[in-house]
A and B are shown apart, each in its own frame.
Chain A
Amino acid sequence: MADTTYGSCCIDEVGALHIDSECVVHYGQTCLSPTSVLPAFFVFGKASINVSSCVKHLIDYASKSDKPIMILYGLEYAHVIPQIREELGLSKTDSQLSVANVLCSFISPSKDPRESMEHPRPYSESDSSDSLSSSRSYRLGGLTWDLPEGSKIEDYLLFWIGSDSSAFANVVLTFNGCDIVRYDAEEDSLVTEFYQQRRILKRRYYLVEKAKDANIIGILVGTLGVAGYLHMIHHMQALISAAGKKSYILAMGRPNPAKLANFPECDVFIYISCAQTALLDSKEFMSPVITPFEANLAFSRGSEWTGAYLMHFQDVINSVKSESEAHIGSEEPRFSFFQGGYVEDHKTNDQAKNGEEDTGETMTLVQAAEKALQLRGNDHNSLTKQTAAKSGPEYFLNRVYRGLEINSENTLPEPYIVGRSGKASGYKHE
Chain B
Amino acid sequence: MVKFTVEEQRKITDRKHNIRNMSVIAHVDHGKSTLTDSLVAAAGIIAQETAGDVRMTDTRADEAERGITIKSTGISLYYEMTDASLKSFTGARDGNEYLINLIDSPGHVDFSSEVTAALRITDGALVVVDCIEGVCVQTETVLRQSLGERIRPVLTVNKMDRCFLELKVDGEEAYQNFQRVIENANVIMATHEDPLLGDVQVYPEKGTVAFSAGLHGWAFTLTNFAKMYASKFGVSESKMMERLWGENFFDSATRKWTTKNWLPDLQAWKDKLWPMLEKLGIQMKPDEKELMGKPLMKRVMQAWLPASTALLEMMIFHLPSPYTAQRYRVENLYEGPLDDKYAAAIRNCDPDGPLMLYVSKMIPASDKGRFFAFGRVFSGTVSTGMKVRIMGPNYVPGEKKDLYVKSVQRTVIWMGKKQETVEDVPCGNTVAMVGLDQFITKNASDLPKLVEGLKRLAKSDPMVLCTMEESGEHIVAGAGELHIEICVKDLQDFMGGADIIVSDPVVSLRETVFERSCRTVMSKSPNKHNRLYMEARPMEDGLAEAIDEGRIGPSDDPKIRSKILAEEFGWDKDLAKKIWAFGPDTTGPNMVVDMCKGVQYLNEIKDSVVAGFQWASKEGPLAEENMRGVCYEVCDVVLHADAIHRGCGQMISTARRAIYASQLTAKPRLLEPVYMVEIQAPEGALGGIYSVLNQKRGHVFEEMQRPGTPLYNIKAYLPVVESFGFSGQLRAATSGQAFPQCVFDHWDMMSSDPLETGSQAATLVADIRKRKGLKLQMTPLSDYEDKL
Is A374's beta carbon under 8 Å from chain B? Answer: yes
Verify B581–A383 contact, CB threshold 8 A. Answer: yes
A384 CA / B443 CA spacing, docked (Å):
43
Interface string of A190-208 (1 = CB under 8 A from B): 0000000001011111100
The residues of B that contact A261 with a CB separation of less than 8 Å are 648-650, 652-653
A258 CA / B529 CA spacing, docked (Å):
13
Give the shortest distance, in Å, between A125 (CB) and chain B (any CB). Answer: 12
A residues 324-356 in Cβ contact with B at 8 Å: 330-333, 335, 337-338, 340-344, 346-347, 352, 355
Verify A363–B389 contact, CB threshold 8 A. Answer: yes
Interface string of A351-382 (1 = CB under 8 A from B): 01001001100110110011010100100011
The residues of A that contact B774 with a CB separation of less than 8 Å are 283
B residues 345-394 in Cβ contact with A at 8 Å: 387-389, 392-394
Is A259's beta carbon under 8 Å from chain B? Answer: yes
A386 CA / B610 CA spacing, docked (Å):
11
A330 CA / B437 CA spacing, docked (Å):
12
The residues of B that contact A257 with a CB separation of less than 8 Å are 526, 653
Interface string of B495-539 (1 = CB under 8 A from A): 000000000000000000000000000000111000000000000
The residues of A that contact B640 with a CB separation of less than 8 Å are 424
Is A264's beta carbon under 8 Å from chain B? Answer: yes
Verify A401–B607 contact, CB threshold 8 A. Answer: yes
Verify A341–B394 contact, CB threshold 8 A. Answer: yes
A344 CA / B500 CA spacing, docked (Å):
28
Verify B448–A304 contact, CB threshold 8 A. Answer: yes
The 8 Å CB contact of B607, one of A355, A400, A424, is: A400
Give how many A-B residue pairs fall within 8 Å (CB-CB).
176
Q: How large is the interface on B (under 10, 10 to 19, 20 to 34, 35 or more residues)?
A: 35 or more
Verify A344–B387 contact, CB threshold 8 A. Answer: no
Is A305's beta carbon under 8 Å from chain B? Answer: yes
A305 CA / B450 CA spacing, docked (Å):
11
Is B272's beta carbon under 8 Å from chain A? Answer: no
The 8 Å CB contact of B471, one of A203, A259, A343, is: A203
Verify A203–B342 contact, CB threshold 8 A. Answer: no
The 8 Å CB contact of A383, one of B336, B342, B455, B579, is: B579
The 8 Å CB contact of B438, one of A206, A264, A332, A337, is: A332
Question: Assuming A206-B469, A383-B581, A400-B607, is B474 touching A344 (CB within 8 A)?
Answer: no
Verify B649–A304 contact, CB threshold 8 A. Answer: no
Verify A383–B586 contact, CB threshold 8 A. Answer: yes
The 8 Å CB contact of A362, one of B389, B394, B469, is: B389
For A398, give the chain B residue with the smallest CB separation.
B607
Question: Assuming A337-B466, A399-B607, is B392 touching A202 (CB within 8 A)?
Answer: no
Verify A400–B606 contact, CB threshold 8 A. Answer: yes
Interface string of B615-645 (1 = CB under 8 A from A): 1000000000000000000000000101011
Is B403's beta carbon under 8 Å from chain A? Answer: yes
The residues of A that contact B195 with a CB separation of less than 8 Å are none
The residues of A that contact B264 with a CB separation of less than 8 Å are none
Verify A340–B465 contact, CB threshold 8 A. Answer: yes
Interface string of A256-281 (1 = CB under 8 A from B): 01111110100000000000000000
Is A15's beta carbon under 8 Å from chain B? Answer: no
Verify A333–B471 contact, CB threshold 8 A. Answer: no
Is B28's beta carbon under 8 Å from chain A? Answer: no
Is A94's beta carbon under 8 Å from chain B? Answer: no
The residues of A that contact B469 with a CB separation of less than 8 Å are 206
Verify B473–A333 contact, CB threshold 8 A. Answer: no
Q: Given A209-B468, A359-B387, 5 more contacts at CB 8 Å? A: A257-B526, A258-B527, A262-B648, A307-B447, A332-B440
* A interface residue numbers (CB < 8 A to B): 199, 201-206, 209-210, 257-262, 264, 283-284, 286, 304-307, 330-333, 335, 337-338, 340-344, 346-347, 352, 355, 358-359, 362-363, 365-366, 369-370, 372, 374, 377, 381-386, 399-401, 405, 424
Verify A383–B554 contact, CB threshold 8 A. Answer: yes
Verify B472–A333 contact, CB threshold 8 A. Answer: no
A370 CA / B395 CA spacing, docked (Å):
12
A210 CA / B388 CA spacing, docked (Å):
32
The residues of B that contact A286 with a CB separation of less than 8 Å are 611, 615, 652-653
The residues of B that contact A203 with a CB separation of less than 8 Å are 470-472, 773
Question: Assuming A258-B650, A337-B468, is B398 touching A374 (CB within 8 A)?
Answer: yes
Verify B555–A372 contact, CB threshold 8 A. Answer: no
A258 CA / B392 CA spacing, docked (Å):
39
For A377, give the chain B residue with the smallest CB separation.
B555
Question: Assuming A332-B438, A340-B466, A424-B645, is B773 touching A199 (CB within 8 A)?
Answer: yes
The residues of B that contact A333 with a CB separation of less than 8 Å are 392, 402, 404
A-B contact pairs, 18 of them (CB 8 A): A199-B773, A201-B472, A203-B472, A204-B472, A206-B472, A209-B468, A264-B611, A338-B468, A340-B465, A342-B392, A342-B394, A362-B389, A366-B400, A369-B336, A383-B555, A383-B586, A385-B554, A400-B603
A412 CA / B606 CA spacing, docked (Å):
29
For B403, give the chain A residue with the smallest CB separation.
A366
A95 CA / B394 CA spacing, docked (Å):
61
Give the shortest distance, in Å, between A370 (CB) and chain B (any CB). Answer: 5
Is B401's beta carbon under 8 Å from chain A? Answer: yes
Give the shortest distance, in Å, between A380 (CB) and chain B (any CB). Answer: 10
The residues of B that contact A365 with a CB separation of less than 8 Å are 336, 342, 389
The residues of A that contact B404 with a CB separation of less than 8 Å are 331, 333, 344
Verify B438–A306 contact, CB threshold 8 A. Answer: no
Give the shortest distance, in Å, between A38 (CB) and chain B (any CB). Answer: 33
The 8 Å CB contact of A206, one of B471, B645, B652, is: B471
For A203, give the chain B residue with the smallest CB separation.
B472
Q: Interface centre among A204, A259, A332, by most B CB within 10 Å? A: A332
A333 CA / B526 CA spacing, docked (Å):
41
Interface string of B677-714 (1 = CB under 8 A from A): 00000000000000000000000000000000000000
Give the shortest distance, in Å, between A254 (CB) and chain B (any CB). Answer: 14
Is B782's beta carbon under 8 Å from chain A? Answer: no
Verify A202–B586 contact, CB threshold 8 A. Answer: no
A381 CA / B557 CA spacing, docked (Å):
8
Is B252's beta carbon under 8 Å from chain A? Answer: no
The residues of A that contact B648 with a CB separation of less than 8 Å are 261-262, 264
Verify B400–A352 contact, CB threshold 8 A. Answer: yes
Verify B604–A369 contact, CB threshold 8 A. Answer: no
Verify B470–A382 contact, CB threshold 8 A. Answer: no
Question: Assuming A264-B648, A306-B443, A341-B394, is B558 touching A381 (CB within 8 A)?
Answer: yes
Q: Interface centre among B393, B398, B399, B650, by most A CB within 10 Å? A: B398
Is B458's beta carbon under 8 Å from chain A? Answer: yes
A399 CA / B393 CA spacing, docked (Å):
28
The residues of A that contact B652 with a CB separation of less than 8 Å are 261, 264, 286
For A369, give the chain B residue with the smallest CB separation.
B397
The residues of A that contact B405 with a CB separation of less than 8 Å are 355, 358-359, 362
The residues of A that contact B644 with a CB separation of less than 8 Å are 424
A381 CA / B466 CA spacing, docked (Å):
36
Is B445's beta carbon under 8 Å from chain A? Answer: yes
The residues of B that contact A260 with a CB separation of less than 8 Å are 649
Is B54's beta carbon under 8 Å from chain A? Answer: no
Is B776's beta carbon under 8 Å from chain A? Answer: no
Question: Assuming A258-B653, A344-B392, is B447 touching A199 (CB within 8 A)?
Answer: no
Is B211's beta carbon under 8 Å from chain A? Answer: no
Is B218's beta carbon under 8 Å from chain A? Answer: no
For B656, give the chain A residue with the smallest CB separation.
A286
A372 CA / B579 CA spacing, docked (Å):
33
Question: Assuming A306-B447, A400-B603, is B458 touching A340 (CB within 8 A)?
Answer: yes
The residues of A that contact B336 with a CB separation of less than 8 Å are 365, 369
The residues of A that contact B611 with a CB separation of less than 8 Å are 264, 286
Verify B389–A372 contact, CB threshold 8 A. Answer: no
A202 CA / B470 CA spacing, docked (Å):
9
Question: Assuming A382-B554, A386-B586, is B603 touching A344 (CB within 8 A)?
Answer: no
A382 CA / B586 CA spacing, docked (Å):
12
Question: Assuming A206-B472, A330-B438, is B398 touching A341 (CB within 8 A)?
Answer: no
A206 CA / B610 CA spacing, docked (Å):
25
Verify A384–B554 contact, CB threshold 8 A. Answer: yes
Give the shortest distance, in Å, between A231 (CB) and chain B (any CB). Answer: 29
